[in-house]
Amino acid sequence: MKRVDIFTLVPDAFDWFVEQHPISTAIDSGSVSIAIHNIREYSPLPHHEVDDTPYGGGPGMVTRVDIVGLALEGVFGCPPGEVRENRDVYVLAAGGRPLDHDLAVSLAQSERDLVLLCGRFEGFDARVEQLFATGSLSIGPYVLAGGEVPAQVVLEAVIRHLPGSLGNVGSVLEESFSPGLDGMVEYPHYTRPREYQGAEVPPILLSGDHGAIAKWRRQSARPSPWTSEVDRS
């Protein structure tokens, strides 16, 4: 079983998420366990404060490195710098390593458990990544209010590759960005009705010729729009 620990200031953000398929299915099958930790609960400061103004000035608030260290130590029972010795510990940050299909599969197949650190406001003190993390992850070149949504993206991308998460294991063999499609975007899908407002299902899909259908699907897959972005990074 893979264990995932999420450290956040907004633990309620994950209440709905863990109840949805394929996350709930993976949990029920015993493929993964997910623990949500409120960083604020580990703060010894008045009113359980967790952040402060940035050195050098500027707007926003920065989550303190010492509070994150206390949270990691409180959960894992070891010095915070040792947590990453046998776990993958990632900060969710705009400047992190871009999440892609290959990385999601790699994290799913890793024997190491996964720890995700979700910042808010201006994010974490830079020493959180320096002292405690394996690295940082990004889901795209844009800014969000916090790391909770990116953490959910990472989790779903990873967990769908764990045994027992999907009803049909073949679902991940030929999907967008997979080796089965040479990293391309999956072909279009159609279902009933056959015709709607003048738009019809391609006749080849109604032919019953499975070889021709497979060829059409292969030809209908298209290059990933993200490829050029990845190549430039």
- Residues in contact with 2: Cβ distance below 8 Å, sequence separation at least 6, in sequence order: 31, 32, 33, 108, 113, 114, 162
Give me the pLDDT at residue 108, please. Answer: 96
Query: What is 2-159's CATH topology?
Result: Alpha/beta knot (3.40.1280)
Q: Which residues of the chain have pLDDT under 50?
A: 229-233
Domains in the chain: boundaries: 2-159, 173-232
Q: What is the pLDDT of residue 105?
A: 94
For 93, residues 6+ apart whose C-beta sits below 8 A from its C-beta are 119, 123, 124, 129, 136, 137, 138, 147
Domain 173-232 annotated CATH 1.10.1270.20: yes
Q: Is 33 left (phi over 0), alpha (psi -120 to 50) or beta?
A: beta
pTM for the predicted model, two decimal places: 0.88
Residue 174's pLDDT is: 64
Confidence (pLDDT) at 172: 59
Q: Where are the alpha helices (DSSP H) in 78-147?
A: 101-109, 127-132
